[in-house]
Amino acid sequence: MTAKPFFTAENPLRIGTRRSPLAMAQAQMAAAALCSRHGFAQAAVTLVPILASGDKIVDRPLAELGGKALWTKELERALTDGDVDIAVHSMKDVETVRPGDYHIGAMLPRADVCDRIIGAPSVAALPGGAHVGTSSPRRTAQLLRLRPDLKISSIRGNVATRLSKLDNGEFDATLLAAAGLDRLSRPDTGHVIKAEMMLPAASQGAIGIEALSGRDDLQSLITAVNHSDTYDCVIAERAFLEALGGNCHSPVAALALAEGANLWLRGEILSADGSECQSGEIRFAKGDGTAPAKLAHDLLEKASERVKKLFAA
């Protein structure tokens, strides 16, 4: 195996990241972890902000624009072209089926996995017929399952943009990931919706670090900061998604928790209007790659044809 490289201010480790404030904050977390683990000076690591396709168009839902690759393809092109050494992603934004040229070798310790509601103290407290902004099929279905009277409309943009739309009266409420708000130093913004009420998106709250698959030197560098429980849980959630065969239009939620040598995986699939929800759970040993698919197939088997059509490849 190639020896791990040593980086200096004259030859810095270049970390590719999206330009949004949240993405930059997450890249800074990755940089700090790498500097701490390997003893790099702060000047030996530099961030390379890259404008992602998903950040260029904010007036349409992500699913209409080509899916999650809109957040990753520019960063991965920079890896291939040698413009950056590694890339940092929010794992929730990483497509389930990955190109073999790239490998996410590490994930940082996972943050709060829950959603927060902004504009009301709870979903139940929303006034009748309230207008809620979200572009997530999962959140839409889960909200309508709890409150069929709500009006749901698409909302895009970074956190500050979304919050400004609430302040301007365009929406009565919106939902955002607690992890993102915390990383932007907004820990008191909104009210937590517990996972028991709204199961989060697969990989929510996790940050991944990626390098070219053939760069063993960089892979060993980033693997050293990997948080194994987070990695195992997120990989299980992503395996569940892959087995479902859905896409960005598919309302699906998943959450795995580590229990010693085992994982506890919960999942649910819903109809677009939330009127049908099939949920289940499974406990299995870490490293059992078949268990997440078993849960996915069990849920699909119970689902109606209209829900199966949202998932079956």
Cβ(207)–Cβ(261) below 8 Å: no
Q: What are phi and psi of 310, to 5 degrees?
A: -75, -15
- DSSP 3-state of 71: helix
Angle (CA) 80-96-299 rounded to 5° is: 175
Q: Which of 55, 85, 93, 112 is catalytic?
A: 93
The candidate with the shortest Cα–Cα distance to 120, out of 145, 141, 147, is: 147
Angle (CA) 270-161-18 rounded to 5° is: 80
CA distance 173 to 176: 10
Q: What does the block give as tokens for 284? A: 């299995």
Tokens 């195992």, residue located? 232
Cβ(106)–Cβ(208) below 8 Å: yes
Alpha helices in 102-256 (DSSP H): 137-146, 159-167, 178-183, 216-223, 228-244
Tokens 């693997």, residue located? 223
Q: Is 93 a catalytic residue?
A: yes
Enumerate the active-site residues: 93
